[in-house]
Amino acid sequence: MVWERWQVSWDRQQELYLPDREERFRVMLDVVEAVAGPAPRVLDLACGTGSISRRLFERLPEATSVGVDLDPALLTIARGSFADDARIRLVSADLHAPDWTAGMPDEPFDAVVTATALHWLTTEPLLRLYGDLAKLLRPGGVFLNADHMPESGRPLLYAADETIRRTHRERAERAGALDWDGWWEAAESDPNLTDAVAASRAIYGTDDSGDTHPADWHIARLHEAGFLEAGVVWRCLGDAMVAAIR
């Protein structure tokens, strides 16, 4: 199955940079289940190929999900692999756009989850997005954001972090995993994806001008956006996951 192969190779490529990717997804879904129970209505924000929704359905088969992303190639893989699954709806939207919520359902979500994505946004659209999420979640619902959130003043620890990641990356590459550029080249050469990859390149180009903030910054901004409580639920050196209760 071509789409399953792309799902697996996307996972391998992301794990090249995130050795603990599965661990953060596990903690994320632990929190979703604890807060929202066995049949949550979930928004998978900047879903890519739908990696989080796949794990959500494996763990909580009664869950439903709306996956939002802008990337035509990653959405093509998601649409292909979830083809017959009525539990998920995939929406193409740009989180930079003030009206990105136009395609969202009227009923509020129990959980919003996102990973390795919001650092692609600059600060102003991210603040607007946090306000939007406060409106899309039901009271008592949870938002989880796992991303690069380095703290200041820890150069020695972050040097160790970089060494750990580089060692892991080199080992994975020796075992055959594709890096980011290699993965996109491979996708482009698959006739199922060639046009979609060209469309992705036209959208994103080489611009990677998002902003990175420490976890405390996210926590403070989420409180300002109307969340009741926010805190770190997982951390591994420079990466962290912030959870916020609406």
Ligand X SMILES: C[S@@+](CC[C@H](N)C(=O)[O-])C[C@H]1O[C@@H](n2cnc3c(N)ncnc32)[C@H](O)[C@@H]1O
Is residue 69 a contact residue for ligand X (CB under 6 A)?
A: yes
Q: What angle do CA 102, 137, 228 make, to 5 degrees?
A: 140
Q: Does 147 bind ligand X (CB under 6 A)?
A: no
- Buried/exposed code over 61-95 (b: 16+ C-beta within 10 A; e: otherwise): eebbbbbbbbbbbbbbbbbbbbeeeeebebbebeb
CB 169 within 8 A of CB 163: no
Q: Give the single-character DSSP code of 123.
A: H
Least Å distance, CB 120 to ligand X, is: 4
Give least dist CB 52 to ligand X, A.
6
Judge contact between 45 and 68, C-beta under 8 A. yes
Q: Which two tokens stand for residue 174?
A: 């020796």
Q: Among 9, 14, 64, 145, indicate the residue that binds ligand X (CB under 6 A).
A: 14
Q: Which of 6, 82, 120, 130 binds ligand X (CB under 6 A)?
A: 120
Output 93 or 245, the one with its CB closest to ligand X: 93
Binding flag, residue 60, ligand X (CB under 6 A): no
Does 132 bind ligand X (CB under 6 A)? Our answer is no
Does 74 bind ligand X (CB under 6 A)? Our answer is yes
6 is a site residue for ligand X (CB under 6 A): no
Binding site for ligand X (CB under 6 A): 14, 46-48, 51-52, 69-71, 74, 94-96, 115-117, 120
